[in-house]
Amino acid sequence: MLSAMLARLRKLRNRLVYLAPLLLAAPLGIELTLRLFQPASMDYYRAVKELHVSHPDYLVGLAPNTQIFVRQHAGLWEGQFTINSYGYRGTTEPDPARPQIACLGDSLVMGFGVSDEETFCSRIDGIRLGETSYQSVNLGVDAFGSRGYALRLQEAVDRLNLKIVLLVVSPNDYAIPPALAERGVRSDDEIDAQNEGDEFYPTMFAARFALTRYSYLLHSLVIANQQLRIRAQLARNDSRLELIRAGVLSPDPGQPAEQELDRGLVAYLRGVFYRPAVAPPNCGPEIAPAESTEDAPVSGPQCPEPVPAGVQCQANEPDPATLEPLMEITRRYYAQMISLSRERGFRLVVVFMPIQNEVLYCEMNGRYSRFFDYALRARQYFQNQGVPVLDLRSQVPGMCGEPVPEEPARLSRISDYYIPGDGHLTRLGNAWAARALEHELQNLANSNAL
């Protein structure tokens, strides 16, 4: 019996000896095939990956001296991305001899959706406040939270001639809607708070980043895993909706089935990953199209645009004291940036840029959306610390009736300023943001707050 077992083990060993090269050759072959053919479905993910490098402090930075043309995977936008020698987006190198105004934030500031010269940070280059003209520097990195902002700023003050820093706070930093939080979606600050206590996390992250940056196969497996999880969640929720409609399951108490799921993960995932670009909605009576002449009228929406069905507005904004306080990690890194500004002699200015459709429609009609609560929470904190705050909601009415450069026979609507299904600013949106920032900064300078 023993001899028979040994014989089987020898046969198994021999098979493994023959199989081992095949097992090694298969992934190598797939890797080479992906590199050779570079499938179009991966172009966007590879381009974005190659824009970034692993960073020892804030985990992910931008790759210095890089120039890549990026097409969004769903065809919603495309643009030239240039990273200068400092690791900042933009074709111009920072000039230490010039006073500088820096834009600090996530992908909205970095400028996903447009080319280098079209970002709002690039558009305010040369802004004159009082007697001083400032060079703009874009410190934005996509997916940053409060920790990333603080560490990126700490690094920049030693390299730049910073006089003003515009911190553009994002709702993704610490304000995930409850319907998503219940399903495990977490804010950037929550993720950072969890990982701060793990001494091995930076090493593991750097290793995973390097492997997926240099291996097409591993990167495609990570993307496939993410997409499969998304599609599985969509399938589960679609099935639940059908069961609710059939009367097999009951919706949440007091909430109709369609509303319950539309406000949750299904709508979020479809909006972010799968919603196709659509024509702007009919928001009011339009002027009939005219023949193409220089003096011909152009079609335009009703201004202000009516609040669409399903958008909930309220008459007034709530008292910030009634809102949930900021997370400890958020307050800690905000305090770090404030202390740094005072130690190094630059002016920290906090910017709240409305980016959700609900906020825009409500504000245009003189009302308020609870989607802006995140900004009220942060505004109270910064104002208590004596930090100036720019609230760009006052500039939202300018998002209606402006000529659209790409379509000269049409005037703008809110939907022209943000990329549908993506949420980033369009060219027109970045131009609006630059004008809004310049207007508010001039007011601040005139009040001697800069």
Distances (CA, A) of 445 to 169, 178, 206, 337, 440: 21, 39, 43, 21, 9
pLDDT at site 345: 96
CA 270 – CA 380 distance, rounded (Å): 34
Identify the segments of the chain with pLDDT beneath 50: 254-296
Q: pTM of whole model > 0.85?
A: no
pLDDT at site 22: 59
Picking from 127, 72, 130, 79, the residue whose alpha carbon sits closest to that of residue 103 is: 127
In this structure, the dihedral spanned by the alpha carbons of residues 160, 161, 164 and 168, taken in order and rounded to 10 degrees, is -10
pLDDT at site 30: 66
pLDDT at site 294: 46
**In the block, residue with structure tokens 């290793």:** 207
Residue 372 contacts residue 413 (beta carbons within 8 Å) = no
pLDDT at site 243: 74
CA 161 – CA 101 distance, rounded (Å): 9
Q: Is 87 left (phi over 0), alpha (psi -120 to 50) or beta?
A: left
Give Cβ neighbours of residue 249 (< 8 Å, ≥ 6 apart): 240, 243
pLDDT at site 223: 72
Residue 390 contacts residue 375 (beta carbons within 8 Å) = no
CA 257 – CA 259 distance, rounded (Å): 6
pLDDT at site 218: 73
383-440, pLDDT tens digit by residue? 999 999 999 999 999 899 998 988 888 899 999 999 877 789 999 999 999 999 999 9
SS3 at position 141? coil
CA 124 – CA 137 distance, rounded (Å): 10
pLDDT at site 277: 41
pLDDT at site 152: 97
| Element (DSSP H or E) covering residue 220 | helix 216-245
- The structural domains of the chain, ordered by start, are 41-197+304-446 (3.40.50.1110)
Give Cβ neighbours of residue 414 (< 8 Å, ≥ 6 apart): 283, 305, 357, 360, 361, 364, 399, 400
CA 287 – CA 346 distance, rounded (Å): 49
| Element (DSSP H or E) covering residue 80 | strand 78-83
pLDDT at site 337: 98
Residue 390: beta bridge partners? 351
Burial of 179 (0-12, 13-18, 19+ CB in 10 A): middle
Biggest CA pair distance of the chain: 100
Pairing of strands 347-352, 389-391: parallel
Distances (CA, A) of 356 to 97, 112, 283, 420: 38, 16, 17, 11
Residue 66: beta bridge partners? 83
How many secondary structure helices (H) and strands (E) does the chain include?
15, 13
